Amino acid sequence: MQKGINRRDFLKWIGAGTAAASVPALGCATGGSTGLHRAAGREAGAHSTYFDGFGVDGGLIGKVIRKGLTRGGDFCDVFLQHKISHWVGMEDAAINRAYSNVDLGAGIRVLKGDATGFAYCEDLTEQAMLETAETAASVADAAAPGIRAAPLAARKIESRYTVELPWSEVGIDKKLPLIERANAKARGRDPRIIKVTIFLADQTSHILVANSEGLLVEDEQPMAVMYVTCVAAKDKQIETGYQSVSSRDGLRFFSPEVLDKLSNEAADYTTKLFDAVSAPVGELPVVLAPGVSGILLHEAMGHGMEADFNRKGVSIYADRIGKRVAPDEVTICDDGTCDRMRGSINIDDEGAPAQRTVLVEKGILRSYMHDRISAKHYSVASTGSGRRQSFRYPPVPRMRNTYMVSGPHDPAEIIASVDKGLYAEVFSNGQVHIGAGDFTFYLKHGRLIEKGKLTRVVKDANLIGSGPKVLEHVEMVGNDMLLFSGGGSCGKDGQRVPVGFGLPTVRVGAISIGGRAS
């Protein structure tokens, strides 16, 4: 209740200690599915869709859209989704638990000006969908339709994440050996590892977007993620750590190389903590290691550049387009087109094609991330950033994969430039206050920098600073940009969506470090 109604943004990995409850919700894993889950006659004709198998054809969708416009709405769209999720887990060396979930429903949205009427149903019968459209229509209050819906025309898209076999049809027997291998590797890595828990979760989401402008487009979105969590004991000291990998890919993604790297990192991240001391207290220069520290971009400026906050005038970046927000070395993109990354999409959840959006170019703020409503407000094209957790939510502007482009510096040169500071390596979660601009991100572990050299391991500290100030004080950008391939999710407006991020080695000015050692 507390969190549901609180609209603060936060970013948290499942498995990061506190979120065990969200794991089964991700879930899902039934074995080989049947004809039920298959598209019926997909290639047969212009209006033949995956959802024909559920009794929803182009004719019915058109009728629902027209119903949505009967009260004078300017625009109506229908979002159909069938999502099959599986989760299978190992604990104490036995793969002895599985969760699965099937989600089926329709979200119907009507826009009047920039006001939204939204309703959904979990029953795809004609009666249920028409009633739902009528509810959404009530955001407008005229007695008659204002506009006529255009006839639907199916648009084909090239998928950037086709799979040989959808996860919905991969039997659980194919998944068990992957988990066994990851477990053996993690346990074999270090004798101090005493517990290993692993889960493999997959999803197959079929979506269809149709709207009153005549768009009809479909996508099949695969997702795979594996988490390895370790507990290690040394004398009386206990430490825990984890690592994850994720991709919009099928079974082939979990190659021996991927699994071994995952398990080794999970084990190393745990045993490394035996040598760690508490992080320092107060402001120090910070060098961000490449990869997962891209969470800095996500929190420090990403959310502030989502156009809904700017349209409402409440973001710290409102009215900053065309202005300098960072030094020349800084170019930042939000990109839905990265190869099989977790935040990649073919189309957004309003049917707009994904793109690579340059947010900051050589230090100048160039673009926000737009959905349909904000694009109309700013008289620009949508950037393909309208995303939603599921058919149960209306779309809002969201990040996809957010990264900083490589700069000129050698990473070693960047570390050597710091006399006393923190080298921040692995992060677990973060949060931002959109208006005030202060952001946090939580360091699982890193190293101290003393006289230009990496020294002791430090752990468990929250880092806090002003997003715009940190961006203004990016001092050096490395030439080693790395995309983080783990399982990141972002929460906003009560909705979670998968995201990716990346960063080269970056030196920023002083950030306040919430450690305990003085």
Partner 1 sequence: MSDLLEMARKVAHKAKARGAQGVQASVYRSRDSELEWRDGKIDRLRESTRMGVGVTLYVDGRYSSNSTSDLRDSAIEHFLDDTVATTRVLAADPHRKLPDPARYASRFQGDLEVFDTASMSPSERRKLARSLEEAARANPDAGEIISVTSSCSNSTSESAMVCSNGMEGQRRRSTFALFAETSVKDEGDRKPEGWWYAVQRHKADLPPIATIGQEATRRALGMRGAKPEKSGQYACAIENAVAGRLLGDLIGPLHGQDIQQKRSFLADRLGQDIGSAALTIVDDPLLPRGLSSRTYDGEGMSTIKRPIFTRGKLETFFLDTYYASKLGKEPTTAGTSNLVFEAGERDLDGLLAAMGTGILITGFSGGNSNPATGDFSIGIRGYWIEKGRRARPLAEMNLAGNHLEFWKKLAEMGKDAYVYSSWRTPSMRFEPVQFSGT
Structure tokens at 500: 């990716």
Among the listed residues 185, 387, 459, 492, the single contact to partner 1 using CB under 8 A: 459
As measured in angstroms, the least distance from the Cβ of 339 to partner 1 is 30
Could you tell me the end-to-end alpha-carbon distance of the chain, in angstroms, rounded to an integer? Answer: 38
Among the listed residues 47, 63, 104, 155, the single contact to partner 1 using CB under 8 A: 104
474 touches partner 1 (CB under 8 A): no
157 touches partner 1 (CB under 8 A): no
Distance CA 445, CA 265 (A): 13
Nearer to partner 1, 46 or 277 (CB): 277
Among the listed residues 153, 165, 231, 358, the single contact to partner 1 using CB under 8 A: 231
Query: Of 199-218, which residues contact partner 1 (CB under 8 A)?
Result: none
Report how far Cα 18 is from the mean position of its chain's Cα atoms: 19
Distance CA 118, CA 72 (A): 15
192 touches partner 1 (CB under 8 A): no
Nearer to partner 1, 110 or 375 (CB): 110
Among the listed residues 60, 262, 279, 288, the single contact to partner 1 using CB under 8 A: 279
495 touches partner 1 (CB under 8 A): no
194 touches partner 1 (CB under 8 A): yes
431 touches partner 1 (CB under 8 A): yes
395 touches partner 1 (CB under 8 A): no
User: What counts of helices (H) and strands (E) characterise the chain?
Assistant: 11, 25
Partner residues linked to 461 by β-bridges? 443
Which residue's structure tokens are 């994440």?
161
Which region holds residue 41: left if phi is over 0, alpha if psi is between -120 and 50, else beta?
Answer: left
434 touches partner 1 (CB under 8 A): yes
Nearer to partner 1, 108 or 262 (CB): 108
433 touches partner 1 (CB under 8 A): yes
Nearer to partner 1, 120 or 423 (CB): 120
E strand intervals along 340-468: 356-361, 364-365, 386-387, 396-397, 401-404, 420-432, 438-450, 453-466
Burial of 35 (0-12, 13-18, 19+ CB in 10 A): exposed
Partner residues linked to 195 by β-bridges? 231
Q: Are 97 and 24 in contact (CB under 8 A)?
A: no
275 touches partner 1 (CB under 8 A): no
Distance CA 111, CA 485 (A): 36
Query: Of 70-89, which residues contact partner 1 (CB under 8 A)?
Result: 82, 88
Query: Of 124-153, which residues contact partner 1 (CB under 8 A)?
Result: 132, 135-136, 138-139
Among the listed residues 314, 381, 412, 416, the single contact to partner 1 using CB under 8 A: 314
Q: Are 248 and 222 in contact (CB under 8 A)?
A: yes
512 touches partner 1 (CB under 8 A): yes
456 touches partner 1 (CB under 8 A): no
Structural Rg of the chain based on CA atoms: 24
172 touches partner 1 (CB under 8 A): yes
Considering only 100-108, 181-189, 249-257, 335-343, which stretch makes contact with partner 1 by CB under 8 A?
100-108
As measured in angstroms, the least distance from the Cβ of 9 to partner 1 is 10
- Residue 32's nearest CA partner among 204, 256, 246, 183 is 204
Query: Of 331-390, which residues contact partner 1 (CB under 8 A)?
Result: none
What residue type is assigned to position 64 of the chain? V
As measured in angstroms, the least distance from the Cβ of 176 to partner 1 is 7
